[in-house]
Structure 1
Amino acid sequence: MTDRRALSHLLRRLTFGPTSAEVDAAVRAGYGTTVSELLRPGPLPSPPELGADPVAQLDPGAGREQRQQARAEQNKQVTVLTRWWLARMTDAGAAEKLTFFWHGHWATSARKVRSAQLMLAQLQTLRRYGTGDTGPLVRAMVHDPALIIWLDGQRNTRRAPNENLARELMELFTLGIGAYTEDDVKAGARVLTGWQVDRATGVATLVPKRHDDRPVTLLGRTGTWDADSYADLLVRHEAHVPFLVRRLWVRYAAASGPSQAAAARIVAAGRNTTALLTALCQDPEFTAASGHLVKQPVEWLVGALRQLGVNVAELTQQQQQRLQSDLRGLGQVPLRPPSVDGWPAGGSWLTTASTQARLSAAQTLAKLAPAVADRLTGADRVEALADLLVVDAWSGGTREALRSVRDPRRMLALALASPEYAVH
């Protein structure tokens, strides 16, 4: 693989979609420097103005109509937050791609949480802690109000333990199946009893009378644990880093997972997410995984917006609504994962229905793209299109199909819907 192809591959994986100019800059900087620059943590973004949660502000005696209006306002706030995040994705590169990874990993949905404020707070937590040691991140997420609501933590009491949060904390977020027992789930649930969320303040607090503070045996150790010490047990467990490496590999390298040798090399980097991603990107199997990862719909759409120079913040409300409608058609809307398992990976995004949805969304993008006709003219317009979309090479069939199209916007739409653009 040439240096340019290797760097194009790196940028496609670490960001939502590089521009040709960004690839040029990476070639000049070199591979190692580019990895370091992309993964350098940045400041937290300034959040959008959402206002207060309208449902939390209702009087206890509010009528049905008032509650319906408050719910409608809640939905509007979630829409505002979603559009703000999409706009930020087009600007922030690798940092926001990592936040999106963690969002899919912790998989919390606004459908059940019903609070843009709590979802925003969770995103800020993922940004604040997601680049460093996983210890502070897991501690913060155990206390996260949105996650507590999403996984029924408020129903977890001394008298009626609810196992949802404890189970998913181990199975999906930190250890993986096989690293814990059902007794560990029961013990973890008891440790996490008593947490309640105040929606008006957005704060989770422990209510002592609802909490079970008796000693338990958890992951082979007996003691009196609290939420923080439980989180510490999880991240110190021998299964934690290998589990996280597999999850990172599936989203950044290939859906098939790493070989044992590659996994061992990356695990050796420790528990720091930036160090793990650095090791992943520098592993020889990462470069060899080019062409083996299907873009998630959000990655596909945001990457196209970046490469086409579409400023999401400057779009009309109708145009933004259309983009969100396209994402719904594609099957992935930020802040709305389908379940605690998050979104699928790999070939699940390559169905007949998804291909049709991509073509429809590609037509939307082609209409939004500025000065397409100026950029895709002349005898080399097919190559110009590959350069614009940072596609290493078209297949013979795709190349002939593109050459047969005269209209630049239709040509662009076909390229965006092509296998070469969907799989990278």
Structure 2
Amino acid sequence: MDKYTLWSLRLGYSAKQAKTIQTIGLEKVLQNSFATKVDATIPAFLDDSPKSFNEYVEIRKKLKANPEIAKEMQKKEIQTFLEMKTWWIEKMNTEEFPLREKMTCFWHNHYVSTFQKVKSNYSIFQHNQILRENAFGNFKTLTKQIVKTNAMVRYLDNTDNKKGKLNENLSRELLELFTLGIGNYTEEDIKNGAKGLAGLGIGQENATYRERLEDNESFTYLGKKGNFKADEMIDIIFEQPNIPYLITRKILKWFIYDNPKEELVKYYGDYLRKKNFEIQPLLTKIFTEAFAKNTAGTKIKNPLEYILQLMNELHIENPNGRLIALFIKDQGMDLYGQPNVKGWDGGNYWLTSQVFLQRNNVADLLCNGKNLTRGKVENENAMMKKNRPLNVKLDWDKNGNNIEIIAQLKERLLFKTDKNEQQDFEEILKYDFDSKTEGSENAVMRLFNFMVKTPEFQLI
């Protein structure tokens, strides 16, 4: 089993970094990953999307007056939304050091905010950029920023939270899903927290308090009494004894274990508190310590890890990001569109019988040089373009015999096989295999196709 491929997948989405990790070492790769810069440029696909609250209000006035224009603009915003998914997938796939994007995706599933509910591409993009900028930063600082994004106050209905008519959604999820976890607060804390968040609504660039909607009466929050607002409430949350453990459990699940042991959760949680909730040193400690262990096969690949690894192995250049976005949506990993505020469950959720069947169908398509397919095709030209053959190829030892080639693929694809599986592989690539004969490439591709459709390939 190739340790460097394993860690390339864990720090990214494919084996692209394997040689780099082997050459310069894991710690240097981590340093380079943490040093990656964030492009602050607003992508061109957002040019026509409203970017401030005033712009949004003006556009809504025009749309109310003309239903036809409203319908066209809605279509355009949906197209922009699909472009934003494609843009992000391309970043994940092309970054030299993709750990920042993988961590952004982690935070994206921690502080969930969906386009379907928010209905503003720019707000969703802005939310995503804050996650990217703070991917390796301070957990408390990031929580403060995210709670005051227009996307979050809209997604969790804090726009409806005002004095005399409180909405508890944001207050509840701030405690339950973002920071402490169930069992570490009371229902009274949720009710009182809603008072502190009352009046926090959509602003020009970020969420802002509206004085006439605020509730400025004193209340008790996690044992402290006062008239607290969002930042002060979060400061109090981060003083609680159990604050580190929810996030360390989720980080361990995202990168290494589907079911991390509680002693590990506490061990790394205590370290996170010691480091004043800085994420970068926590990741360094987790990765460097896990690198020294044999922890392969402890996590089911999410759809992105699965499809991007497969495409990388087949040397598919410039893969269609939109088709990938649709594939992972079918697999239950819709970017900017989680099923609920809890986000994607991960673990066994990624390998239901339906998901496994979809993965096998996609493996067949790609190994046979056919692109991913999805939905109706409107005309013949589009059909021809969509089904244009892919130029796929595998790297394998042309001088090796069948046993050596099987061993090479097992190493690269992170296989631990028993005697029966080995026999299955040797049935496909027989003892008299000769790489110089016509059709040898096809024989190795058949073996690869068989291997990536086994349960072992789904693990990382």
Query: What TM-score does the superposition give when structure 2 sets the normalisation length?
Result: 0.81
What is the CA–CA distance in structure 1 between the aligned matches of 2:125 and 2:131, rounded to whole Å? 10
Say if 2:49 is the partner of 1:53.
Answer: yes
Separation of aligned partners in 2, 1:351 and 1:255:
15
Deviation at 1:398, TM superposition (A): 4.8
Letter in 1 for 2:329: R
Deviation at 1:115, TM superposition (A): 1.9
Structure 1 counterpart of 2:414, one-letter code? V
Whether 2:393 is the aligned partner of 1:372: answer yes
| Alpha carbons of structure 1 residues 131 and 356: separation in structure 2 relative to 1, 3 Å | same
Deviation string, structure 1 residues 84-142 (Cα, Å, up to 9, x no partner): 00000012311100001111111221111122211110110001122111121011011
Q: C-alpha displacement at 1:301, in angstroms?
A: 1.7
Q: 98, 104, 113: which is aligned to 1:99?
A: 104
- Extract unaligned runs of 5+ from structure 2: 372-389, 430-441
How many residue pairs get aligned? The number is 411
- The structural deviation recorded for 1:23 is 2.1
Distance 1:191 1:411, change over 3 A: same
Question: Is 1:277 matched with 2:283?
Answer: yes
Tell me if the contact between 2:176 and 2:182 (Cα under 8 Å) persists in the aligned partners: yes
Given the alignment of the two structures, is residue 83 of structure 1 paired with residue 61 of structure 2, yes or no?
A: no
The reply on whether 1:420 has 2:456 as its aligned counterpart is yes
CA RMSD of aligned residues (A): 2.7
The residue aligned with 1:330 is 331
Instruction: Name segments (4+ residues, structure 1) moved above 6 Å.
Output: none
Q: 1:355 to 1:376 in 2, by over 3 A?
A: farther
2:128 to 123, 127, 134: 123
Q: What corresponds to 1:301 in structure 2?
A: 307
Residues 154 and 375 of structure 1: CA distance in aligned 2, closer, same or farther (over 3 Å)? same
Question: Relative to 1, partners in 2 of residues 1:66 and 1:399: Cα closer, same or farther, differing over 3 Å?
Answer: farther
User: Any residues of structure 2 matched to 1:340-419 within 5 Å, and which?
Assistant: 340-366=341-367, 367=369, 370-372=391-393, 379=401, 380-386=404-410, 390-403=413-426, 404=428, 406-407=442-443, 409-419=445-455
Bigger drift between 159-168 and 60-69 goes to 60-69
Gaps of 5+ in 1: none
Q: Which amino acid aligns with 1:153?
A: N
Post-superposition Cα deviations, 1:219-277, rounded to whole Å, max 9, x if no partner, equal 11111111111222223322221221111111112121233256324522431111111
Deviation at 1:197, TM superposition (A): 1.7
Aligned to 1:70: 73
Instruction: Pick closer, same or farther for the CA change 1:411–1:149 going to 2, 3 Å.
Output: farther
Counterpart for residue 172 of structure 2: 167
Q: Distance in 2 between matches of 1:46 and 1:397?
A: 54
Bigger mean CA offset, 133-142 vs 259-268: 259-268
Which whole-Å CA distance do the structure 1 matches of 2:75 and 2:10 have between them?
A: 37
Instruction: Report the counterpart of residue 247 of structure 1 in structure 2.
Output: 250
Deviation by residue 1:144-164 (Cα, 9 ceiling, x = unmatched):
111111111111111211000
Amino acid at match of 2:83: V
1:27 and 2:22 aligned: yes
Tell me if structure 2 keeps the 8 A contact 1:192–1:227: yes
Task: Work out which of the two has the higher radius of gyration on C-alpha atoms and give 1 or 2.
Answer: 2
- In 2, distance between residues paired with 1:395 and 1:71? 54
Cross-structure match for 1:136: 141
Letter in 1 for 2:130: T
Query: Whole-Å Cα distance in 1 between the matches of residues 443 and 290 of structure 2?
Result: 41
Structure 2 CA distance for partners of 1:60 and 1:345, relative to 1, 3 Å: closer
Q: 8 Å contact 1:184–1:217 — kept in the other structure? A: yes
Answer with 249-258 or 72-81: which moved more.
Answer: 249-258
The 8 Å contact of residues 154 and 196 in structure 1, kept in 2 or not, is answered as yes
Q: Does 1:148 align with 2:153?
A: yes
Cα distance in 2 between the residues matched to 1:150 and 1:376: 52
* 1:401 Cα offset (Å): 4.4
Q: What does residue 212 of structure 1 align with? A: 215
TM-score (structure 1 length as normaliser): 0.87
Structure 2 counterpart of 1:85, which letter?
Answer: W
Aligned partners of 2:255 and 2:444: how far apart in 1? 32
Question: For residues 397 and 18 of structure 1, what CA distance do their matches in structure 2 show?
Answer: 27
Question: Structure 1 210/47 Cα, relative in aligned 2: closer, same or farther at 3 Å?
Answer: same
Q: Determine if contact 1:90/1:303 at 8 Å carries over to the other structure.
A: no
Aligned mates of 1:244, 1:146 — CA distance in 2: 21
Give the distance between the partners of 1:98 and 1:90, measured in 2 at CA.
14
Contact 1:161 1:190 in 2 (8 A): yes
Partner of 1:181: 186
Greater shift, 90-99 or 55-64, is seen at 55-64
Change (3 A) 1:144 1:399: farther
Q: Distance in 2 between matches of 1:112 and 1:262?
A: 33
CA distance in 2, matches of 1:237, 1:266: 13
Question: 1:286, 1:66 → 2: CA distance?
Answer: 59
State the AA in 2 paired with 1:9: L
Question: Does structure 1 conserve the Cα–Cα contact (< 8 Å) formed by 2:396 and 2:408?
Answer: yes
